[in-house]
Structure 1
Amino acid sequence: MTITEIIYWLELAGVAVFAITGALEASRRQMDMVGFVLIATFTGIGGGTVRDVITGATPVFWIRDTTWLVTCIGAAVITYFTAHLVERRYVALLWLDALGLAVFGVTGAAIGLNLGVSPLVAIVLGMITATFGGMVRDVVCNEIPLILRPEIYITCALVGAGIYVIGTAILDLPRGPIAVIAFFAAFLMRACAIKFKLSFPVYRARPGREY
Protein backbone atom coordinates (compact mmCIF):
# COMPACT_ATOMS: atom_id res chain seq x y z
CA MET A 1 0.00 0.00 0.00
CA THR A 2 1.42 3.38 -1.03
CA ILE A 3 1.56 6.41 1.26
CA THR A 4 -1.15 8.05 -0.88
CA GLU A 5 -3.48 5.11 -0.24
CA ILE A 6 -2.68 5.20 3.48
CA ILE A 7 -3.50 8.92 3.63
CA TYR A 8 -6.75 8.25 1.78
CA TRP A 9 -7.92 5.62 4.27
CA LEU A 10 -6.80 7.66 7.26
CA GLU A 11 -8.64 10.69 5.90
CA LEU A 12 -11.75 8.56 5.35
CA ALA A 13 -11.54 7.30 8.94
CA GLY A 14 -11.20 10.88 10.15
CA VAL A 15 -14.27 11.91 8.16
CA ALA A 16 -16.25 9.07 9.72
CA VAL A 17 -15.14 10.02 13.24
CA PHE A 18 -15.94 13.71 12.76
CA ALA A 19 -19.28 12.84 11.15
CA ILE A 20 -20.16 10.82 14.26
CA THR A 21 -19.35 13.82 16.47
CA GLY A 22 -21.69 15.92 14.33
CA ALA A 23 -24.42 13.30 14.65
CA LEU A 24 -23.90 13.12 18.42
CA GLU A 25 -24.35 16.87 18.61
CA ALA A 26 -27.53 16.50 16.55
CA SER A 27 -28.77 13.92 19.05
CA ARG A 28 -28.15 16.35 21.90
CA ARG A 29 -30.27 18.87 19.99
CA GLN A 30 -32.97 16.23 19.36
CA MET A 31 -32.92 16.70 15.59
CA ASP A 32 -34.62 14.48 13.02
CA MET A 33 -32.81 12.19 10.56
CA VAL A 34 -32.27 15.00 8.06
CA GLY A 35 -30.68 17.13 10.76
CA PHE A 36 -28.38 14.26 11.71
CA VAL A 37 -27.21 13.85 8.12
CA LEU A 38 -26.76 17.59 7.62
CA ILE A 39 -24.68 18.20 10.76
CA ALA A 40 -22.67 14.99 10.28
CA THR A 41 -21.83 15.98 6.70
CA PHE A 42 -20.90 19.55 7.62
CA THR A 43 -18.59 18.23 10.32
CA GLY A 44 -17.09 15.36 8.37
CA ILE A 45 -16.11 17.17 5.19
CA GLY A 46 -16.00 20.80 6.34
CA GLY A 47 -12.29 21.06 7.07
CA GLY A 48 -11.22 19.22 3.95
CA THR A 49 -13.51 21.37 1.82
CA VAL A 50 -11.93 24.58 3.13
CA ARG A 51 -8.47 23.08 2.52
CA ASP A 52 -9.30 22.18 -1.09
CA VAL A 53 -10.87 25.58 -1.79
CA ILE A 54 -7.77 27.35 -0.43
CA THR A 55 -5.38 25.21 -2.46
CA GLY A 56 -7.49 25.43 -5.61
CA ALA A 57 -8.16 21.69 -5.86
CA THR A 58 -11.05 21.34 -8.31
CA PRO A 59 -13.39 19.74 -7.89
CA VAL A 60 -13.12 19.32 -4.11
CA PHE A 61 -12.48 15.82 -2.83
CA TRP A 62 -16.07 14.80 -2.02
CA ILE A 63 -17.25 15.77 -5.49
CA ARG A 64 -14.55 13.66 -7.13
CA ASP A 65 -15.34 10.65 -4.93
CA THR A 66 -18.80 10.18 -3.41
CA THR A 67 -17.40 7.72 -0.85
CA TRP A 68 -16.92 10.67 1.47
CA LEU A 69 -20.58 11.66 1.37
CA VAL A 70 -21.71 8.05 1.75
CA THR A 71 -19.47 7.75 4.82
CA CYS A 72 -21.00 10.87 6.41
CA ILE A 73 -24.54 9.71 5.68
CA GLY A 74 -23.83 6.21 6.98
CA ALA A 75 -22.30 7.58 10.19
CA ALA A 76 -25.32 9.84 10.69
CA VAL A 77 -27.86 7.05 10.18
CA ILE A 78 -26.03 4.61 12.47
CA THR A 79 -25.67 7.26 15.18
CA TYR A 80 -29.35 8.19 14.86
CA PHE A 81 -30.32 4.66 15.92
CA THR A 82 -27.57 4.12 18.50
CA ALA A 83 -26.97 7.50 20.18
CA HIS A 84 -29.36 6.64 23.00
CA LEU A 85 -26.96 3.85 24.05
CA VAL A 86 -24.26 6.42 24.90
CA GLU A 87 -24.84 7.66 28.43
CA ARG A 88 -22.62 10.75 28.23
CA ARG A 89 -22.82 11.90 24.65
CA TYR A 90 -20.91 15.16 25.08
CA VAL A 91 -17.97 13.32 26.65
CA ALA A 92 -17.99 10.84 23.76
CA LEU A 93 -18.12 13.78 21.36
CA LEU A 94 -15.04 15.36 22.95
CA TRP A 95 -12.96 12.18 22.75
CA LEU A 96 -14.01 11.36 19.19
CA ASP A 97 -13.28 14.96 18.24
CA ALA A 98 -9.79 14.57 19.72
CA LEU A 99 -9.27 11.47 17.60
CA GLY A 100 -10.42 13.21 14.43
CA LEU A 101 -8.34 16.27 15.28
CA ALA A 102 -5.17 14.17 15.48
CA VAL A 103 -5.92 12.30 12.24
CA PHE A 104 -6.78 15.38 10.20
CA GLY A 105 -3.82 17.39 11.50
CA VAL A 106 -1.49 14.80 9.98
CA THR A 107 -3.40 13.98 6.80
CA GLY A 108 -4.11 17.64 6.04
CA ALA A 109 -0.41 18.44 6.29
CA ALA A 110 0.47 15.38 4.19
CA ILE A 111 -1.96 16.41 1.45
CA GLY A 112 -0.51 19.91 1.53
CA LEU A 113 3.02 18.57 1.03
CA ASN A 114 1.79 16.36 -1.82
CA LEU A 115 0.45 19.52 -3.49
CA GLY A 116 3.91 21.05 -3.32
CA VAL A 117 3.23 23.86 -0.84
CA SER A 118 5.87 25.13 1.59
CA PRO A 119 6.30 23.39 4.98
CA LEU A 120 4.73 26.32 6.85
CA VAL A 121 1.68 26.34 4.57
CA ALA A 122 1.36 22.56 4.94
CA ILE A 123 1.21 22.93 8.72
CA VAL A 124 -1.49 25.59 8.41
CA LEU A 125 -3.46 23.36 6.02
CA GLY A 126 -3.25 20.54 8.57
CA MET A 127 -4.63 22.85 11.24
CA ILE A 128 -7.45 24.02 8.97
CA THR A 129 -8.40 20.48 7.98
CA ALA A 130 -8.45 19.41 11.63
CA THR A 131 -10.47 22.26 13.10
CA PHE A 132 -12.88 23.80 10.60
CA GLY A 133 -15.32 20.88 10.47
CA GLY A 134 -15.77 20.95 14.24
CA MET A 135 -16.10 24.72 14.16
CA VAL A 136 -18.92 24.49 11.61
CA ARG A 137 -20.63 21.84 13.76
CA ASP A 138 -20.50 24.03 16.85
CA VAL A 139 -21.57 27.24 15.10
CA VAL A 140 -24.54 25.60 13.35
CA CYS A 141 -25.62 23.98 16.63
CA ASN A 142 -25.26 27.28 18.52
CA GLU A 143 -22.35 26.08 20.65
CA ILE A 144 -19.22 28.05 21.48
CA PRO A 145 -16.63 26.51 19.10
CA LEU A 146 -13.97 24.44 20.84
CA ILE A 147 -11.26 26.56 19.22
CA LEU A 148 -12.62 29.64 21.05
CA ARG A 149 -12.77 28.02 24.48
CA PRO A 150 -9.98 28.50 27.04
CA GLU A 151 -8.49 25.04 26.57
CA ILE A 152 -5.72 23.48 24.52
CA TYR A 153 -7.28 22.53 21.19
CA ILE A 154 -5.99 24.12 18.02
CA THR A 155 -2.41 23.76 19.28
CA CYS A 156 -2.81 19.97 19.21
CA ALA A 157 -3.53 20.05 15.48
CA LEU A 158 -0.54 22.34 14.92
CA VAL A 159 1.71 19.99 16.89
CA GLY A 160 0.63 16.94 14.89
CA ALA A 161 0.97 18.75 11.56
CA GLY A 162 4.27 20.31 12.62
CA ILE A 163 5.86 17.01 13.64
CA TYR A 164 4.83 15.40 10.36
CA VAL A 165 6.06 18.27 8.20
CA ILE A 166 9.36 18.73 10.04
CA GLY A 167 10.01 15.00 10.12
CA THR A 168 9.23 14.30 6.48
CA ALA A 169 9.80 17.53 4.53
CA ILE A 170 12.76 18.93 6.47
CA LEU A 171 14.52 15.95 8.07
CA ASP A 172 13.53 13.54 5.27
CA LEU A 173 12.54 10.76 7.67
CA PRO A 174 10.23 7.85 6.70
CA ARG A 175 6.69 9.15 6.38
CA GLY A 176 4.89 6.17 7.92
CA PRO A 177 6.59 6.16 11.34
CA ILE A 178 6.57 9.97 11.52
CA ALA A 179 2.84 10.02 10.77
CA VAL A 180 2.22 7.61 13.66
CA ILE A 181 4.36 9.69 16.03
CA ALA A 182 2.63 12.91 14.92
CA PHE A 183 -0.82 11.38 15.40
CA PHE A 184 -0.11 10.13 18.92
CA ALA A 185 1.57 13.40 19.92
CA ALA A 186 -1.50 15.40 18.86
CA PHE A 187 -3.97 12.97 20.38
CA LEU A 188 -2.13 12.62 23.71
CA MET A 189 -1.82 16.38 24.00
CA ARG A 190 -5.54 16.82 23.44
CA ALA A 191 -6.32 13.88 25.75
CA CYS A 192 -4.34 15.50 28.57
CA ALA A 193 -6.13 18.78 27.96
CA ILE A 194 -9.51 17.04 28.27
CA LYS A 195 -8.58 14.86 31.22
CA PHE A 196 -6.79 17.50 33.30
CA LYS A 197 -8.63 20.58 31.93
CA LEU A 198 -5.40 22.15 30.75
CA SER A 199 -5.36 25.56 29.11
CA PHE A 200 -2.90 28.30 28.25
CA PRO A 201 -2.92 31.59 30.20
CA VAL A 202 -5.52 33.95 28.78
CA TYR A 203 -5.32 37.69 28.36
CA ARG A 204 -6.74 39.60 31.31
CA ALA A 205 -7.78 43.20 30.88
CA ARG A 206 -6.01 45.81 32.98
CA PRO A 207 -7.37 49.18 34.07
CA GLY A 208 -6.63 51.89 31.54
CA ARG A 209 -4.14 54.62 32.33
CA GLU A 210 -5.40 57.94 33.57
CA TYR A 211 -4.11 60.92 31.67
Structure 2
Amino acid sequence: MLLHLLYLLAIIAEAMSGALTGMQRGMDRFGLCLVGTVTALGGGTVRDVLLGHYPLVWVSHPDYMFITIGAASIAAVGARWLRKGEWLFVTVDAIGLIAFTIIGCDVAATLDVSSSIVVLAGAITGVCGGMLRDVLCNQIPLVLRRELYASIALGAGALYVALQACGVAQGPASVIVLTCGFVVRMLAVRFCWQLKVFTAADSGGAG
Protein backbone atom coordinates (compact mmCIF):
# COMPACT_ATOMS: atom_id res chain seq x y z
CA MET A 1 0.00 0.00 0.00
CA LEU A 2 2.81 2.41 0.93
CA LEU A 3 4.70 1.71 -2.28
CA HIS A 4 1.53 2.15 -4.35
CA LEU A 5 0.89 5.58 -2.83
CA LEU A 6 4.51 6.57 -3.38
CA TYR A 7 4.26 5.30 -6.95
CA LEU A 8 1.24 7.49 -7.65
CA LEU A 9 2.98 10.48 -6.08
CA ALA A 10 6.10 9.77 -8.11
CA ILE A 11 4.39 9.45 -11.50
CA ILE A 12 2.52 12.71 -10.88
CA ALA A 13 5.73 14.53 -9.98
CA GLU A 14 7.66 12.99 -12.87
CA ALA A 15 4.90 13.88 -15.34
CA MET A 16 4.99 17.49 -14.14
CA SER A 17 8.77 17.53 -14.33
CA GLY A 18 8.68 16.21 -17.89
CA ALA A 19 6.11 18.81 -18.91
CA LEU A 20 8.19 21.65 -17.46
CA THR A 21 11.25 20.40 -19.34
CA GLY A 22 9.19 20.25 -22.53
CA MET A 23 8.06 23.85 -21.99
CA GLN A 24 11.68 24.94 -21.87
CA ARG A 25 12.12 23.36 -25.32
CA GLY A 26 9.10 25.20 -26.75
CA MET A 27 6.76 22.21 -27.14
CA ASP A 28 3.01 22.49 -27.65
CA ARG A 29 0.39 21.04 -25.29
CA PHE A 30 0.47 17.61 -26.96
CA GLY A 31 4.24 17.52 -26.69
CA LEU A 32 4.09 18.41 -23.00
CA CYS A 33 1.62 15.60 -22.28
CA LEU A 34 3.70 13.14 -24.30
CA VAL A 35 6.96 14.02 -22.56
CA GLY A 36 5.27 14.02 -19.16
CA THR A 37 3.75 10.59 -19.71
CA VAL A 38 6.99 9.13 -21.07
CA THR A 39 8.91 10.52 -18.09
CA ALA A 40 6.50 8.99 -15.61
CA LEU A 41 5.85 5.61 -17.23
CA GLY A 42 8.87 5.10 -19.49
CA GLY A 43 11.05 3.34 -16.94
CA GLY A 44 8.47 0.66 -16.20
CA THR A 45 7.75 0.24 -19.90
CA VAL A 46 11.43 -0.30 -20.78
CA ARG A 47 11.75 -2.78 -17.92
CA ASP A 48 8.70 -4.78 -18.98
CA VAL A 49 9.76 -4.90 -22.63
CA LEU A 50 13.26 -6.08 -21.72
CA LEU A 51 11.94 -8.74 -19.34
CA GLY A 52 9.05 -9.78 -21.59
CA HIS A 53 6.61 -8.90 -18.81
CA TYR A 54 3.19 -8.25 -20.33
CA PRO A 55 0.80 -6.53 -20.36
CA LEU A 56 2.70 -3.29 -19.87
CA VAL A 57 1.86 -1.48 -16.65
CA TRP A 58 -0.05 1.33 -18.35
CA VAL A 59 -1.95 -1.15 -20.51
CA SER A 60 -3.17 -3.11 -17.50
CA HIS A 61 -3.75 0.13 -15.57
CA PRO A 62 -4.79 2.77 -18.15
CA ASP A 63 -5.74 5.13 -15.31
CA TYR A 64 -2.01 5.71 -14.76
CA MET A 65 -1.77 7.19 -18.25
CA PHE A 66 -4.69 9.53 -17.63
CA ILE A 67 -3.18 10.57 -14.29
CA THR A 68 0.10 11.51 -15.95
CA ILE A 69 -1.63 13.38 -18.78
CA GLY A 70 -3.62 15.32 -16.20
CA ALA A 71 -0.51 16.09 -14.16
CA ALA A 72 1.34 17.31 -17.25
CA SER A 73 -1.60 19.55 -18.19
CA ILE A 74 -1.70 21.05 -14.70
CA ALA A 75 2.04 21.71 -14.90
CA ALA A 76 1.56 23.55 -18.20
CA VAL A 77 -1.06 25.81 -16.63
CA GLY A 78 0.76 26.42 -13.34
CA ALA A 79 4.33 26.48 -14.65
CA ARG A 80 5.20 29.85 -13.10
CA TRP A 81 4.19 28.70 -9.62
CA LEU A 82 5.66 25.23 -9.99
CA ARG A 83 9.10 26.57 -10.91
CA LYS A 84 9.25 28.22 -7.49
CA GLY A 85 8.88 24.80 -5.86
CA GLU A 86 11.93 23.24 -7.53
CA TRP A 87 13.21 21.85 -4.23
CA LEU A 88 9.89 20.06 -3.71
CA PHE A 89 10.32 18.38 -7.10
CA VAL A 90 13.85 17.30 -6.18
CA THR A 91 12.52 15.79 -2.95
CA VAL A 92 9.63 13.96 -4.59
CA ASP A 93 11.92 12.81 -7.40
CA ALA A 94 14.27 11.28 -4.81
CA ILE A 95 11.35 9.40 -3.26
CA GLY A 96 10.15 8.36 -6.71
CA LEU A 97 13.60 7.11 -7.74
CA ILE A 98 13.76 4.69 -4.82
CA ALA A 99 10.08 3.71 -5.01
CA PHE A 100 10.39 2.97 -8.74
CA THR A 101 13.53 0.94 -8.06
CA ILE A 102 11.85 -1.20 -5.40
CA ILE A 103 8.78 -1.75 -7.58
CA GLY A 104 11.02 -2.72 -10.50
CA CYS A 105 12.84 -5.23 -8.30
CA ASP A 106 9.52 -6.70 -7.15
CA VAL A 107 8.35 -7.15 -10.75
CA ALA A 108 11.58 -8.82 -11.82
CA ALA A 109 11.59 -11.03 -8.73
CA THR A 110 8.34 -12.64 -9.90
CA LEU A 111 10.15 -13.86 -13.02
CA ASP A 112 12.78 -16.54 -13.36
CA VAL A 113 15.82 -14.22 -13.43
CA SER A 114 19.00 -13.92 -11.36
CA SER A 115 19.46 -11.48 -8.48
CA SER A 116 21.72 -9.27 -10.60
CA ILE A 117 18.96 -8.89 -13.21
CA VAL A 118 16.49 -8.06 -10.43
CA VAL A 119 18.77 -5.22 -9.30
CA LEU A 120 19.28 -4.02 -12.87
CA ALA A 121 15.54 -4.11 -13.55
CA GLY A 122 14.98 -1.94 -10.48
CA ALA A 123 17.54 0.62 -11.64
CA ILE A 124 16.08 0.67 -15.15
CA THR A 125 12.65 1.38 -13.70
CA GLY A 126 14.08 4.21 -11.63
CA VAL A 127 16.13 6.05 -14.25
CA CYS A 128 14.92 5.25 -17.78
CA GLY A 129 11.89 7.56 -17.70
CA GLY A 130 14.14 10.56 -17.11
CA MET A 131 16.56 9.39 -19.78
CA LEU A 132 13.75 9.15 -22.35
CA ARG A 133 12.56 12.64 -21.33
CA ASP A 134 15.98 14.13 -21.95
CA VAL A 135 16.38 12.34 -25.27
CA LEU A 136 13.00 13.67 -26.45
CA CYS A 137 14.06 17.14 -25.31
CA ASN A 138 17.38 16.84 -27.16
CA GLN A 139 19.70 17.14 -24.19
CA ILE A 140 22.28 14.94 -22.49
CA PRO A 141 20.39 12.74 -20.00
CA LEU A 142 20.51 14.06 -16.45
CA VAL A 143 21.51 10.61 -15.19
CA LEU A 144 24.78 10.89 -17.18
CA ARG A 145 25.88 14.35 -16.17
CA ARG A 146 25.01 15.35 -12.62
CA GLU A 147 24.84 14.16 -9.00
CA LEU A 148 24.77 10.47 -8.14
CA TYR A 149 21.55 9.06 -9.52
CA ALA A 150 21.77 5.76 -11.39
CA SER A 151 24.37 4.50 -8.92
CA ILE A 152 21.96 5.24 -6.07
CA ALA A 153 19.24 3.24 -7.83
CA LEU A 154 21.64 0.33 -8.30
CA GLY A 155 22.71 0.53 -4.66
CA ALA A 156 19.11 0.68 -3.46
CA GLY A 157 18.18 -2.33 -5.58
CA ALA A 158 21.18 -4.30 -4.32
CA LEU A 159 20.33 -3.46 -0.71
CA TYR A 160 16.70 -4.48 -1.23
CA VAL A 161 17.66 -7.84 -2.72
CA ALA A 162 20.28 -8.42 -0.01
CA LEU A 163 17.84 -7.68 2.81
CA GLN A 164 15.29 -10.11 1.42
CA ALA A 165 18.00 -12.73 0.95
CA CYS A 166 18.80 -12.30 4.65
CA GLY A 167 15.19 -13.03 5.55
CA VAL A 168 13.89 -9.49 6.02
CA ALA A 169 10.22 -9.26 5.03
CA GLN A 170 9.20 -7.20 2.01
CA GLY A 171 7.54 -4.42 4.05
CA PRO A 172 10.42 -3.67 6.44
CA ALA A 173 12.94 -4.07 3.61
CA SER A 174 11.04 -1.49 1.55
CA VAL A 175 11.01 1.01 4.43
CA ILE A 176 14.74 0.53 5.09
CA VAL A 177 15.66 0.95 1.43
CA LEU A 178 13.35 3.95 0.96
CA THR A 179 14.89 5.68 3.95
CA CYS A 180 18.51 4.94 3.09
CA GLY A 181 18.13 5.66 -0.63
CA PHE A 182 16.28 8.92 -0.03
CA VAL A 183 18.86 10.17 2.47
CA VAL A 184 21.78 9.36 0.18
CA ARG A 185 20.10 10.98 -2.84
CA MET A 186 19.32 14.19 -0.94
CA LEU A 187 22.88 14.33 0.42
CA ALA A 188 24.18 13.87 -3.12
CA VAL A 189 22.08 16.85 -4.26
CA ARG A 190 23.06 18.97 -1.25
CA PHE A 191 26.80 18.34 -1.51
CA CYS A 192 26.98 17.74 -5.29
CA TRP A 193 28.36 14.21 -4.98
CA GLN A 194 29.08 12.85 -8.42
CA LEU A 195 31.30 10.47 -10.33
CA LYS A 196 34.26 11.85 -12.24
CA VAL A 197 33.16 14.00 -15.17
CA PHE A 198 35.29 13.58 -18.31
CA THR A 199 36.08 16.48 -20.61
CA ALA A 200 37.81 16.90 -23.95
CA ALA A 201 41.11 17.41 -22.10
CA ASP A 202 40.83 13.90 -20.63
CA SER A 203 40.83 12.40 -24.15
CA GLY A 204 44.21 13.92 -24.91
CA GLY A 205 42.84 16.93 -26.77
CA ALA A 206 42.47 15.04 -30.02
CA GLY A 207 40.80 16.99 -32.72
| Aligned residue-pair number | 203
Q: Once the two structures are superposed, what CA deviation does each residue of 1:152-211 show, in whole Å capped at 9, x if it has no partner?
A: 11111112111111111x112111111011112222211111111111235673769xxx
CA distance in 2, matches of 1:171, 1:116: 19
How far, CA to CA, are the matches of 2:23 and 2:89 in structure 1? 11
Determine if the alignment matches structure 1 residue 205 to structure 2 residue 198.
no
Could you tell me which runs of 5 or more consecutive residues in structure 2 were left unpaired when the two chains were aligned: none
* Corresponding position of 1:37: 33
Listed as ranges, the matches of 1:22-61 within 5 Å are 22-61=18-57
Is 1:17 the counterpart of 2:13? The answer is yes
SS of 2:78 mapped into structure 1:
helix
Q: From 150, 154, 158, give the equivalent of 1:158.
A: 154
Aligned residues: CA RMSD: 2.3
1:80 aligns with 2:80: no
| Contact in 2 for aligned 1:110/1:164 (Cα 8 Å) | no
What SS does the corresponding residue of 2:23 show, helix, strand or coil?
A: helix
Q: Which deviations, in whole Å up to 9, do the C-alpha atoms of 1:114-149 show, x marking residues without a partner?
A: 234222111000000001000011111122211211
Q: Could you say which residue in structure 2 is the equivalent of 1:176? A: 171
Distance 1:121 1:33, change over 3 A: same
1:81 is matched by which residue type in structure 2?
V
TM-score by length of 1: 0.85
Correspondence for 1:133 = 129
Deviation at 1:63, TM superposition (A): 1.2
Matches within 5 A, 1:43-122: 43-88=39-84, 93-122=89-118
2:16 partner SS: helix
Letter in 1 for 2:94: A
Other-structure match for 2:180: 185
Quick one: which of 166, 170, 195 aligns to 2:190?
A: 195
> C-alpha displacement at 1:36, in angstroms?
1.5
The alpha carbon displacement at 1:11 in A equals: 3.1
Q: Aligned partners of 2:89, 2:24: CA distance in 1, in Å?
A: 10
Q: Which moved more, 1:78-87 or 1:176-185?
A: 78-87
Q: Summarize the Cα distance change of 1:198–1:6 in structure 2 as closer, same or farther, 3 Å threshold.
A: closer
**Equivalent pairs: percent with the same residue?**
35
TM-score norm. by structure 2 comes to 0.87
Q: Which moved more, 1:14-23 or 1:38-47?
A: 14-23
Runs of 5+ consecutive residues of structure 1 not aligned to the other structure: none
Cα deviation 1:29-75 (Å, max 9, x = unaligned): 34332122111011011000011101111221111220111111111
